[in-house]
Amino acid sequence: MVFNWHLDESPPIIESHSKAKLKVLRSYLRAYFDRLNVNPVREDFKLDLIDGFSGGGVFLDGLTEISGTPLVMLEETEQARIRLNRNRKKKLHIDCKFYFIDKKEAHTNYLQKTLLERGYLVGNDKLVIRNDRFENEVRNILKSIQKRQPRAGRAIFLLDQKGFSGVELSIISRIFRELPNAEVILTFAADALVNHLSDRPETAKMVMPLQLQSRVPDLIEMKEGNGGRALVQRTLRDHIRMATGAMYDTPFFIRPRQSRRALWFLHLSMHPIARDVMTQQHWNNQNIFEHYGQGDFGFLGWDALVDSDTIPLFQFRDLDKREMKKGLLESLPKELYRLVYEQPVTMDALRHTLANRTAARFSDLDEVIVELHKEREIEIRNPEGKRRAMTVRHLASTDRVALPSTQLLLGLSRRS
């Protein structure tokens, strides 16, 4: 569906998958502000929010106008200002700068009109609207963020393209190189790409922004072989991480009701906590997001490389959580044994290592590790090397996981 905004027409009608995207973006921004401002004595917080494919700002949902992504960014910043100052003695000054870019003039005109009607001051040094292609603007945006925030460089780039080839991956890699604290949220029509795979020259051209030209024959072979769609998606996911240089990703997808095509809502970052905060939002918004596989280390068809039609769908519901935990209790001992075989490893390091491979939040991983400690599969030690009590419930990032002093006989262990 192509969205169009025109000054003398009603805004476009929103579809369910776009509503899902807006909901998760909103809850992520809320969590981001809260998480980075837990320190009650902090006085200043700077953040740059960039909507590189902004659209016209509003949609129609029945007879109601609802906020599109630029307004969600503005509204959540305002809400954060109110919420975070509620119980503070010393006021927290939230200083955000917004960049809204769209290549269509009719869209930026519509956005400008919408923001003015809602009382926002447009065109000052804190709110910039540009009618241009994002790729033409990114260089100057990066420069201006570096100038405004030379130390922290905190920024969230939302790149809500329509298909899969509108964002050059080299641009995202540049963002992370120049601003390691930035985060990127990229929508990506993964299934559309899989459907388009062919040996025709148009395909090679289409995947050029993704640096995938030379891999098309491999991808076609995967799609037609046993791995099917799930294997292509797994390969694509790894490729996007590699090509962008992002250390962490959340590759969950929204499945539009009208079609069977999965739409990825990829969150890319350099920090495992950022990944964990986004994963929490998927759990908080059950039934909107899905992925293939079970949620443990069989995630995204990791092990079950059969066609995605036969892989169970994971939807972040209570039932999925129970199944995921069962899976983690079975698979984590082997993983941990491998990781801590030579020496104890801190929880922090384990979280870094395991984050990308499961739909579990850090809190879920902690619960399973505590359970394994109780079963004497592994041992949790404090930084001084002393064994934690069997009743331990919360783990610190400095706690260490070690092999147990007395190992279970192999037949009794979950590793057997």
Ligand X SMILES: C[S@@+](CC[C@H](N)C(=O)[O-])C[C@H]1O[C@@H](n2cnc3c(N)ncnc32)[C@H](O)[C@@H]1O
Alpha-helical (H) ranges within 37-133 are 69-85, 105-117
Which of residues 182 and 336 has its CB atom nearest to ligand X in the complex? 182
Burial class of residue 259 in the structure, from the number of CB atoms within 10 Å of its CB (0-12 exposed, 13-18 middle, 19+ buried): exposed
Q: Which residues contact 108 (CB under 8 A, 6 or more apart)?
A: 54, 100, 102, 129, 130, 131
Q: Residue 108, interface with ligand X (CB under 6 A)?
A: no
Q: Which residues contact 94 (CB under 8 A, 6 or more apart)?
A: 33, 45, 47, 77, 80, 81, 84
- The owner of tokens 């069977």 is 260
Which of residues 67 and 294 has its CB atom nearest to ligand X in the complex? 67
Q: Residue 203, interface with ligand X (CB under 6 A)?
A: no
3, 120, 283, 337: residue in contact with ligand X (rule CB under 6 A):
3
Residues 400-412 as b/e (b if ≥16 CB within 10 A, e otherwise) read bbbbeeeeeeeee
State how far the Cα of 91 lies from the Cα of 66, in Å rounded to an integer. 31
Smallest gap from Cβ 105 to ligand X, in A, equals 10
Q: Residue 69, interface with ligand X (CB under 6 A)?
A: yes
Q: Which of residues 127-166 bind ligand X (CB under 6 A)?
A: 133-135, 160, 162, 166
102, 191, 276, 296: residue in contact with ligand X (rule CB under 6 A):
102
Q: Which residues contact 69 (CB under 8 A, 6 or more apart)?
A: 22, 25, 51, 54, 55, 158, 160
Smallest gap from Cβ 72 to ligand X, in A, equals 8
* One character per residue 356-395, x = contact with ligand X (rule: CB under 6 A): ----------------------------------------
Smallest gap from Cβ 154 to ligand X, in A, equals 21
Which of residues 64 and 214 has its CB atom nearest to ligand X in the complex? 64
Return the DSSP state at 288.
T
Smallest gap from Cβ 10 to ligand X, in A, equals 15
Smallest gap from Cβ 1 to ligand X, in A, equals 9
Which of residues 18 and 358 has its CB atom nearest to ligand X in the complex? 18
DSSP, collapsed to helix, strand or coil, labels residue 158 as: strand
Q: Which of residues 10-49 bind ligand X (CB under 6 A)?
A: 18
Q: Which residues contact 390 (CB under 8 A, 6 or more apart)?
A: 373, 374
Q: Residue 110, interface with ligand X (CB under 6 A)?
A: no
Residues interacting with ligand X, by CB under 6 A?
Answer: 3, 18, 52-55, 68-69, 101-104, 107, 133-135, 160, 162, 166
